[in-house]
Amino acid sequence: MFRNLAWQPSDGLPQPIGLGWLDPGLPFWQKSRPKRPPLLYLLRRCKKQKALGFDCEWVTEKSKRQPVALIQLSSFDGYCALIRLSEIKAMPACLKDLLEDETIYKVGVAPKDDGKYLLIDYSVVIKSTLDLRHLADQAGVEAGGLASLASKTLGVALDKSWRIRCSNWEAQELTQKQQKYAALDAHVAIRIFAILMEKIGRKRSVFSWLYSTKDSVWSQLDKYCSLYADASYKNRRSGTKSLKVKEKEAKTNKEALLQSKRYPYATMGKPLYNNCYLEAPDGELLCTCDKKKALWYVERTTADIVKEDPLTVRLRFEPSGRSVGAVGRYYQLKKENKCVVCGDTQTFIRKNVVPREYRKLFPDIMKDHSSHDVVLLCVHCHQLSNIRDQAVRERLAALCHAPLGTAQRGKFTEDSVGKRIKSAARALLYQSRRNVLPEARRKELEEFLLQHYPDQVEVTEELLQDAANIQTIVENTQFESHGEKVVDYFLKGDGLLRLEEIWREHFLKSMEPRHMPELWSVKHNEERLRVKWDEGRLSQEHLKSIGLTRL
């Protein structure tokens, strides 16, 4: 079957080098057989191109999605691989490594959604998905589906017939049309990617920059692509602006950003850190703090000002603890008012390295007098960090059996029947009065209402007023907090300190901050609690509250 696969000139695309197929009953085939395993051959090509066309297919039965049946991957030069997961029943290790390699962009339309299905079906955490529509916006190309983008950028028409799209992707043997459709989706995606990148700002030709291995070229590629890695796309008509536009507005119009509903995080244009000093009664430095906190002690006559510039106050009482070791020295250091990632000094947003949805559930012993996990980020880096945090949330959701909140799983849900009753009543109340409701429709709505008011024989004004004001938002009795389930999982397992470390490690790896405070540590709380334990300020009950038996 493979050798008869035809790529007609009318497609407007060059003939691919080969079509790869991973199937236990059929050998892997391509026009020029590589000497190494097929997926490794594809991976070798990615080392140069750093991007793959990516798509998935599955079967839907009775409105229920079945596990992903087929993964399509394509390099820019036309080497396509179709991997039939429905036949092999498991995810090959080399494929898993490729999908989880964050240095290789998986490009397509809505690839993040496909990634979510792979996570659910095969526990694969796909990284660096890139929705082509983000780049289309930046390139000045009207964003649309894959077929629309292919028409606008490549001048080719993709066959998006529902007969192929909705065909049986779990069939024992796929038809020639299915193979061509699947391979083209992935191959066209990477071709569109190349053209959009060139439009955005590439001075070199598509071929020269895609095949280049110079670090400078790929650092420029990341400059455009990292903004949108693993980010869902929302159409401009929904009111969502591109990150690039938001970043520009943040720098030129702080007040507008403060009022923005699209990014509801308060920015600070003035310094957050005043770097005032707090001393023990004998003059030993305890920590730096903001001016408000320093004066709070003075106003309560529990401290005296010993120096005006920089403001230094000395306590009149012995504090519960002194600054000991690297942990103590961390709080003595001056903090810089700049983004810890890029160094921007204009506007800041506080970033909780360990998200509040988890940290708020930690015992006080882990939170008291600890600002270690609050860092400053500029608007752009804050947005990017939040986007990349979602991948960790999804991994924790799978690991801890703690589904993330959705419209169906939220704390409150909308009663669909109640919503219909309310809508029908309002239509009869307001549209019927204006004589814009057809008689047949009016009778239909009245009959519907009477079905839900069996004690009524006719629709009255009182009934309509009652139905139009019923409460449709109800508490979800099945609701389970994602944060609570994750915290509980770690309490019973490796302890909450490990959960903290996961988030800190993620922040360092995903954002690669260049301006982190000196002595900032992944194991900060463990070291801090160990000092308290050695000083006798920590009990066995305290350890138990964080899921540990010893330090």
Residue 310, preceding bond cis, omega within 30 degrees? yes
Alpha helices (H) in 226-290, listed in sequence order: 243-252, 254-258
What is the mean predicted confidence (pLDDT) over 271-289?
A: 89
pLDDT given for residue 273 in this prediction:
82
pLDDT given for residue 277 in this prediction:
93
What is the mean predicted confidence (pLDDT) over 408-434?
A: 76
- The full 3-state SS of 268-281, as one line of letters, equals ECCCCCCCEEEECC
Residue 198: φ, ψ to 5°: -65, -40
Q: Measured between alpha carbons, how far apart are the two ends of the chain, in Å?
A: 63
pLDDT given for residue 406 in this prediction:
52
Global pTM value: 0.48
Q: Are 243 and 380 in contact (CB under 8 A)?
A: yes
How many whole angstroms separate alpha carbon 491 and alpha carbon 544?
Answer: 9
How many whole angstroms separate alpha carbon 329 and alpha carbon 332?
Answer: 5
* Type of residue found at 259: Q
CB atoms within 10 A of CB 108: 29
- Identify which has the larger pLDDT, 248 or 501: 501
Least confident residue range of 85-99, 309-323, 327-341, 480-494: 85-99
Residue 15, pLDDT above cutoff 50: no
How many whole angstroms separate alpha carbon 463 and alpha carbon 367?
Answer: 54
How many whole angstroms separate alpha carbon 59 and alpha carbon 222?
Answer: 35
CATH 3.30.420.480 fits 2-228, yes or no: no
| pLDDT tens readout for residues 26-43 | 333 333 344 455 677 777
Residue 206, pLDDT above cutoff 60: no
pLDDT given for residue 235 in this prediction:
67
How many whole angstroms separate alpha carbon 499 and alpha carbon 484?
Answer: 13
Nearest alpha carbon to residue 81 among 70, 96, 91: 70
Q: Are 520 and 511 in contact (CB under 8 A)?
A: no
pLDDT given for residue 248 in this prediction:
40
Q: Cα separations (Å) of 505 from 144, 222, 420, 512?
A: 37, 21, 48, 10
How many whole angstroms separate alpha carbon 129 and alpha carbon 182?
Answer: 18
In the chain, DSSP finds a helix count (H) and a strand count (E) of 24, 16
Counted residue by residue, the chain has a size of 551
- Identify which has the larger pLDDT, 368 or 102: 102
User: What is the pLDDT confidence band of residue 46, given thresholds at 50, 70 and 90?
Assistant: confident
- DSSP-derived letter for residue 466 is H
How many whole angstroms separate alpha carbon 82 and alpha carbon 78?
Answer: 13
How many whole angstroms separate alpha carbon 75 and alpha carbon 205?
Answer: 17
- Identify which has the larger pLDDT, 245 or 61: 61
Question: Which residues, in sequence order, are bridge partners of residue 278?
Answer: 287, 313
What is the mean predicted confidence (pLDDT) over 135-161?
A: 87
Residue 253, pLDDT above cutoff 70: no
pLDDT given for residue 38 in this prediction:
62
Q: So where are the chain's domains?
A: 2-228, 412-475
Cβ density class 18-52: b for 16+ within 10 Å, e for less: bbbbbbeeeebbbeeebeeebbebbbebbeebbbb
Q: Are 380 and 247 in contact (CB under 8 A)?
A: yes
User: What is the pLDDT confidence band of residue 205, given thresholds at 50, 70 and 90?
Assistant: very low
